[in-house]
Structures are given as structure tokens and as C-alpha cells.
Homo-oligomer: A and B are copies of this chain.
């Protein structure tokens, strides 16, 4: 799906110009003509970017920007400023905009800036490949997992174990295999380490479940992770 960009300006000709060029560059658009409308839309939707004029009736663009940041809405913002005065530029960035553009601007430059901002943002998404298992999503590079949107924290061994189970979901893994994979070397003798960590893991990811769901015990063999409990 194409990324969606919110265009905020009170002048129809500017909106039209923006819309034409932004859509031509391969984005979807949404429009707001006043500060309150922009706030409302930005809060209740997910945009890839907001192009925000500084001069708006009602609430100023700077104020819209500041209020969004206050609510920890991190959508990248490209500010449009009318004058080239330094003060405008500084205040634009001060309040949490990602970049600014002085009117009049060439459409090409505008698109270049839009893409520069998005490039920076999407570069991160690349590194975010996740492992999905029903309600549970694991983010290997962030040492983090989410269940129904709630973030779960793990200790290192717990996370390594969870990740290994998830990477081999559906397979029965013996304690020995898990020891070799996660503890780097074969523990001598018998140890219950794996069981203890499994127990902790279950406590975290199966908090409100009576029976083990994601992690199943295969008696006499080991453990197995299943994606749809």
C-alpha cells in the first residue's frame, strides 16, 4: 500500500499544487484546511508524513506541531514557511518539525525533501523484521516482543530462548539442543536451567492462560513452540 501524506494548508491553490505533485510521486494524500482539523486527523490516523503550513486559521502550524509532539506523535513533519526569515526556520525546527521548506518552492525540491525524510524513517523499518506468531510478535533487533500491542521485557537468556524456539517453531527441541544453541557449549551433567527459563518465559507470554499455549512440553523429549496455540 502506498504511504499516505497529510497536507495541511488553508489556501486551496497550494493544496492543489501539493496534492498533484505528492500523488504523482506515488503517495496517497489526505487534506486538512485548519489547525484543529489537522490535529484531529493526525491524531486519529497514521500518516507517513505531514506537510504543514505555518500560517493557518485558528491554530497556527507551529502550535499543531508542538501539540502533536507533546502527545508523543512522532509522525515526521515538513513545515512550509512563507517568509525566508531565519526566525521562522528556527521556530519551525524548535518545536519538533523534521525539516522546513520556504515558499515559493519547486515541486521537485519539495518531493526531494519528502523522500529524504521518509528515507531516514524507513531505513529503520528495514532492520525491524519481526517474527510473528499469532498474537505474539518478536523483534530480534530490538530485544523486544509484543503481545496484543503490549510490550514485553525479557532478560537476555529468556529472549535468546524465545527467539530460538520461535525460529524453529513447530519443531520439538530437546534440552540438549537448546543448551547447545543458547549456552554455546554443552553443559556437563544434568541441569534444570532450561526448564527454569521456560517457566519464566511462560509466565511472561502466557500470563492469562491456564495451559501452556505457545510453548508446549513434549514429555520425555523437550519443548516445542506453536504459532497458533
Is B170 a contact partner of A129 (Cβ separation < 8 A)?
A: no
Q: Which residues of A contact B (CB under 8 A)?
A: 17, 20-21, 24, 69-70, 72, 74, 76-77, 89, 93-100, 105-109, 112-113, 116-117, 120-121, 124, 127-135, 137, 139, 141-143, 146, 149, 155-156, 167-172, 218-221, 224, 227-228
Q: A96-B108, A129-B116, A132-B96 are in contact. Are A141 and B221 (CB under 8 A)?
A: no
Copy count, this protein chain: 2
Is B21 a contact partner of A93 (Cβ separation < 8 A)?
A: yes
Is B100 a contact partner of A109 (Cβ separation < 8 A)?
A: no
Is B124 a contact partner of A109 (Cβ separation < 8 A)?
A: yes
Q: A69-B132, A93-B139, A227-B74 are in contact. Are A171 and B127 (CB under 8 A)?
A: yes
Q: A93-B130, A113-B124, A129-B116 are in contact. Are A170 and B142 (CB under 8 A)?
A: yes
Is A94 a contact partner of B134 (Cβ separation < 8 A)?
A: no
Is A124 a contact partner of B155 (Cβ separation < 8 A)?
A: no
For the complex, give the distance between the alpha carbons of A168 and B127 in Å: 9
Give the contacting residue for A142; candidates B77, B146, B172; CB below 8 A.
Answer: B172
Q: Which residues of B contact A169 (CB under 8 A)?
A: 124
For the complex, give the distance between the alpha carbons of A218 and B172 in Å: 29
Q: Which residues of B contact A146 (CB under 8 A)?
A: 94
Q: Which residues of B contact A17 (CB under 8 A)?
A: 93
21 A-B pairs within 8 Å (CB atoms) are namely A21-B94, A69-B132, A74-B112, A74-B132, A74-B133, A74-B134, A93-B106, A93-B139, A97-B106, A97-B130, A98-B106, A98-B108, A98-B129, A98-B131, A99-B106, A99-B130, A141-B170, A142-B224, A143-B172, A143-B224, A156-B220
Closest residue on chain B to residue A107 by CB atoms: B93
For the complex, give the distance between the alpha carbons of A130 and B94 in Å: 9
Give the contacting residue for A124; candidates B94, B112, B218; CB below 8 A.
Answer: B112
Q: A93-B17, A94-B21, A146-B94 are in contact. Are A128 and B100 (CB under 8 A)?
A: yes
Q: Which residues of B contact A137 (CB under 8 A)?
A: 93-94, 96
Other A-B pairs, 20, CB within 8 Å; known A98-B106, A120-B129: A24-B94, A69-B132, A69-B135, A72-B228, A74-B112, A74-B134, A74-B228, A93-B106, A96-B130, A96-B137, A99-B106, A99-B130, A100-B128, A106-B120, A109-B121, A113-B124, A116-B124, A124-B170, A141-B170, A142-B170
